[in-house]
Each structure stands twice: as structure tokens, then as C-alpha cells.
Amino acid sequence: MLPTRLSKSSQQLSHSHINVSQDQQNPTKMASSASKLLLAISVIVSAAITVSAGNMNQEFDITWGDGRAKILNNGELLTLSLDKASGSGYQSKNEYLFGKIDMQLKLVPGNSAGTVTAYYLSSQGPTHDEIDFEFLGNLSGDPYTVHTNVFTQGKGNREQQFHLWFDPTADFHTYSILWNPQRIIFSVDGTPIREFKNSESNGVPFPKSQPMRIYSSLWNADDWATRGGLVKTDWTQAPFTASYRNYNADACVWSSSAASSSCSSSSSTSNSNNGDEWLSQELDSASQERLKWVQKNHMIYNYCTDTKRFPQGLPPECNIP
């Protein structure tokens, strides 16, 4: 949850305006101005779908950590580090309203117990939306826990957790979030691990109106991260480092000049050759089978089966096929 994460971070740190006044006196000029304005808006909207790739300096701002976050190799690599004094973090320069976001991560190796590497999309404010990947460290040889969550209008409590089928510290792997008006899909190396569908017709809020930035941070959470807080961070292993590369965003970039336009409307002004297929993408039959395999063999927690947590009844999306 974003407010909690920001407060933890702060503890670690202290640990075109168009003038139409003259045109309004002339209906012909008003029509001409209106046409030009509509054309300008359509250009802005159609250009909203962009592909960002590559250079970390161009895509991200380091936001905290007092030098513990670094962009290296001419922008090809970004690293976050954590020691006993502080963690570190960054955020994207752009905000997005829907997109397909890919990032390659190599997680903290060795005894990473107590550490959390968070990689997520989030808007701001008390009714924020958020789409979470969090990687909970563990003792050497024990698997990482991949924690996922979806917040809508400030409310989360939709956790699903997984153990990966590989060692995420040995090499880089691609972690993806597909977010379009119909669904959110979490994937690892192209294999879907979770799908959260738009169920607004059943009274379930869905993130669709608040633009979100990408955030990532590496921080100490040994009060809860590993075995519920039983295993504490071993600071003799510090600094802990996570690495990022090959960022790609095929997404609708939100800007103040287009604040009155939704990303979904841009899909109607773009053709299928513009790389916006993700706006209507869904899981095909092969992907659905891979999702079932992951959830059968690698899911370790699902809020939709936790009847003790929800004694008054499971959340409504849990009962929707």
C-alpha cells in the first residue's frame, strides 16, 4: 500500500493555452478554431500510445536513498541498495493510463530475509489505485515469495502469493504488468501468474481513471516480510542490491495537455497496426492453461480462498468465473 511504503521510506531516509477571445466575435473563425482544436486534441490522443524502451536515465528519476540507487552503463542498468541506514527507490518520469509494462529484474541474492523489493504502478491520494509486484526475501536456499495485490479506490486486500519455478537471484527475468480496460495480467517471463478482470458490472471497482507512475524500492520490512517477521534481516550481509534493465512500456502516456482524454478513447482513433493490441488483449487458451499450471503448482496464498479472513463472505470478485 503506497502510504505505508512512503512512510517507511521517509523513516529510512531520516532514516497550450489557446486564446479565442477574438474568434468568439466571428462564428466562422470560431468554427475554424474549433476544428483546429479538435485536430490538435486528436493528434495528442493518437500520439498518446507510445513505446518507451531502454535508457534508465530518460525514463526514471531516483527519488530517495542518498546515493544508494545508481544508474550505470550509460543508462542500461539501474541498481537499488539497502543497508542498515536506508533503502532506496525510483519512479518513472511518465504517468500512464493503461499499458503493458516490462522490466527485467535480478533480485537480492543470498540471505535476503527481511528485505522487500517492490515494483508497482500507483496513483496518488487516499483513493489511489495500485498494481503490485513485491518480492519478499528469504534465507539462502529458500524460495522468494512473489506477492501481488490490486488496489482500487484506496482498497487492497486482494493478495495472491507465489513461489517461482526458478532462482530469481541467479539471472535477470522479465516481470510484466498488462493493464487495459478489461483486465490486469501479471506475468513472469511471458507466463501469466495472475489475472484480475474488470467486474464493474458486479459492483467491483476497477482501476481505469487514475493515471499511475511506476515505482520501485528496496527496503527493510523484517517486521513482516519473512515468515511473518520471525526471520530478521542479517545486516552483516549488507549492502543488499537488486538490479533492473531492459525496461519497456507500450502504454498510453498521461499528460496535462491531454488530461481530458481517456486512454480508452485513443484506441478508437488508432488502428491495429500502431502497436496497441494490448489495449484489448486477453489470455488465449494456451495462456489460460499456463495460468492454471502456475496457480495449481506455485500459488501459496489466495485471498479468494481465505474464508477465515473474510468470515462475512469472500469478496464479490472471488465468486465470478
Q: Which pLDDT band, with edges at 50, 70 and 90, does 320 fall under?
A: confident
- 3-class SS letters over 92-105: ECCEEEEEEEEEEE
Are 175 and 315 a contacting pair, CB within 8 Å?
A: no
Active site residues: 130, 134
Integer Cα distance of 304 and 314 in angstroms = 6
* pLDDT at position 233 over 50: yes
Name the least confident of 27-31, 103-107, 196-200.
Answer: 27-31
* Mean pLDDT of all residues in 228-232: 91
**CB-based contacts of 207: which residues, under 8 Å, 6+ apart?**
123, 129, 130, 131, 150, 151, 152, 179, 184
What pLDDT is recorded for position 227?
87
Q: What is the pLDDT of residue 141?
A: 85
Q: Out of 64-78, 113-127, 156-170, 267-281, which region has the weakest mean confidence (pLDDT)?
A: 267-281
Whether the predicted pLDDT of 38 surpasses 60: no
Element (H, E) at 286: helix 285-297
Residue 92 forms beta bridges with which residues? 60
Rounded to whole angstroms, what are the CA distances from 95 to 35, 59, 67? Answer: 28, 11, 24
Mean pLDDT of the chain: 83
Asked if residues 54 and 75 have their Cβ atoms less than 8 Å apart, the reply is yes
Locate 76 and state its grid cell: 542500461
Report residue 26's pLDDT band, with 50, 70 and 90 as the boundaries. Answer: very low
Backbone angles phi, psi at 142, to 5 degrees: -90, 150
What average pLDDT does the segment 210-238 reach? 94
Q: Is the model's pLDDT at 37 over the cut of 70?
A: no
Query: Which has the minimum average pLDDT: 100-114, 214-228, 253-267, 289-303?
Result: 253-267
Mean pLDDT over residues 292-315, rounded?
A: 97
Q: What are the pLDDT digits (tens) for 244-303?
A: 999 999 999 887 665 633 354 444 333 334 567 899 999 999 999 999 999 999 999 999
pTM recorded for the entire structure? 0.82
Give yes or no for residue 27 having a pLDDT over 50. Answer: no
For the residues 152-158, what does the mean pLDDT come to? 95
Residue 49 pLDDT class (50, 70, 90 cuts): low
| Selected residue with higher pLDDT from 42 and 161 | 161
Give the model's pLDDT for residue 258.
57
Strongest mean pLDDT among 31-40, 152-161, 224-233: 152-161
